[in-house]
Amino acid sequence: LTVGLAVTSFREVVVGDRAIREGKWVISEGGLEICNKTVGIVGIGAIGNRTAELFSAFRAKEILGWSRSPKPDFIGRQVDLETVFKSSDIVSVHVPLNAETQGMIGRDLLQHLKPDSVLINVARGGVVDQTVLTEMLCERRFRAALDVFEKEPLSQEDPLVTKVPPEQVVLIPHVGYKSKEALQRRIAITAGNLRAFADGKPRNLVSTW
């Protein structure tokens, strides 16, 4: 989904669709390619690392990654958060929402993004300060593609919908997890967990301590 949102934003897919429906044809001077761009991954666990691999297949110039701990298996270059935002044409967020990550991406980081840069959030809405994000999108400081929001479902009265210029942001309704194949895998894993528990060999345990 992340790569799809990057392509959608860079190649102006949603803007182009809207233009056709409004009887227009030429929408801009042209879109952008992922090739030779720098991609920043915020959160380089299993999902973040796989995302980096997919972007590398598009011949990104460099893959930067940030994590709170060293990740020797990361295929790119691990750097600090500020470097990710200063250097990247695409920033993709892949961290869980907890006390440490709540609002971790705010003005101090977003101010480093370039006008052609795209911030992609398919993690959790609360990781990004949505008020600041909305304000800076209205100012056309950068672009965004969002699958998650602080409050879901997103209200039709939310400023992301009513105030941000539509060419600045792509909004989709939290579908990152929702492919038919992924849902089938969930069912299979759940069934396997129940079977293992019944056999006295529980697996995929979650600690509540």
Rounded Cα gap, residues 61 and 159, in angstroms: 34
pLDDT given for residue 48 in this prediction: 97
pLDDT tens-digit profile of 189-198? 999 999 999 9
- How do strand 169-171 and strand 62-66 relate by DSSP bridges? unpaired
pLDDT given for residue 166 in this prediction: 94
**pLDDT-derived band of residue 207, with 50, 70 and 90 as boundaries?**
low
Known catalytic residue at 112: no
Two tokens at 67? 């994590």
Name the 3-class secondary structure at 36: coil
Two tokens at 28? 């801009």
13 half-sphere exposure, CB direction, 13 A CA radius:
11
Q: Which of 112, 124, 143, 150 is catalytic?
A: 124
Q: Which of 59, 107, 152, 185 is catalytic?
A: 152
Name the average pLDDT for the chain.
96
* pTM metric for this prediction: 0.93
pLDDT greater than 90 at residue 119: yes
Known catalytic residue at 77: no
**pLDDT-derived band of residue 184, with 50, 70 and 90 as boundaries?**
very high
Known catalytic residue at 167: no
pLDDT greater than 90 at residue 68: yes
pLDDT tens-digit profile of 40-62? 999 999 999 999 999 999 999 99
Of 61, 25, 69, 58, the residue nearest 40 (C-alpha) = 61
pLDDT given for residue 42 in this prediction: 98
Torsion angle of C-alpha atoms 14, 25, 138, 104, degrees rounded to 10: 30
Cis peptide before 153 (omega within 30 of 0): yes
pLDDT > 70: percent of the chain: 99
Q: Which of 11, 18, 50, 174 is catalytic?
A: 174
Check: CB of residue 118 under 8 Å from CB of residue 146: no
